[in-house]
């Protein structure tokens, strides 16, 4: 039996698209389809980046902020760190980012970057690129 923190990666080639399905207990959950020929791996063979074949919603969980949703845009690159934790993507739609009492709007087609501190605090950055 696999532990809930173990990452499972299933690769399947179908309809000329490489489909990557993975389940991560924390901090992100997503199922993505990558365009053929765009997949890049980290030295440990975990997914580093690929161009999305379709829009995908990535959920990132943090004990301090709860669950955040990031709608990532098709035909743009999604990036993961060596631990297969979501790092960044181009947004397919606008999102709101709350930091304390301040709410920032991150428009569609902007790049969102996510990082966790050593203490597990989620940091979200929004920029044009």
Which residues touch 20 (CB under 8 Å, ≥6 apart)? 9, 10, 11, 31, 32, 33, 34, 39, 47, 50
Predicted confidence band of residue 12 (pLDDT cuts 50, 70, 90): very low
Domain count for the chain? 1
Domain residues for the domain of 94 are 8-127
Q: Specify if 31 maps to a domain.
A: yes
Q: Specify if 66 maps to a domain.
A: yes
- Distance CA(106)–CA(96), nearest Å, equals 6
Q: Specify if 87 maps to a domain.
A: yes
Q: Specify if 34 maps to a domain.
A: yes
Q: Specify if 61 maps to a domain.
A: yes
Smallest CA-to-CA distance from 115 within 19, 27, 44, 55 is with: 27
Predicted confidence band of residue 70 (pLDDT cuts 50, 70, 90): very high
Q: Specify if 2 maps to a domain.
A: no
Q: Specify if 1 maps to a domain.
A: no
């Amino acid at each position: 039996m696999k532990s809930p923190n173990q990452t499972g990666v299933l690769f399947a080639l179908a309809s000329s698209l490489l489909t990557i399905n993975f389940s991560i207990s924390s901090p992100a959950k997503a199922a993505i389809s990558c365009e053929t020929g765009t997949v890049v791996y980290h030295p440990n063979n975990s997914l580093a980046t690929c161009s999305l074949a379709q829009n995908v919603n990535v959920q990132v969980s943090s004990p301090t902020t709860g669950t955040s949703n990031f709608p990532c845009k098709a035909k743009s690159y999604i990036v993961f760190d060596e631990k297969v934790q979501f790092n960044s993507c181009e947004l397919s739609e606008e999102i709101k980012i709350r930091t304390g009492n301040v709410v920032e709007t991150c428009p569609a087609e902007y790049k969102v970057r996510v990082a966790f501190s050593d203490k597990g605090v989620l940091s979200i950055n929004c920029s044009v690129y």
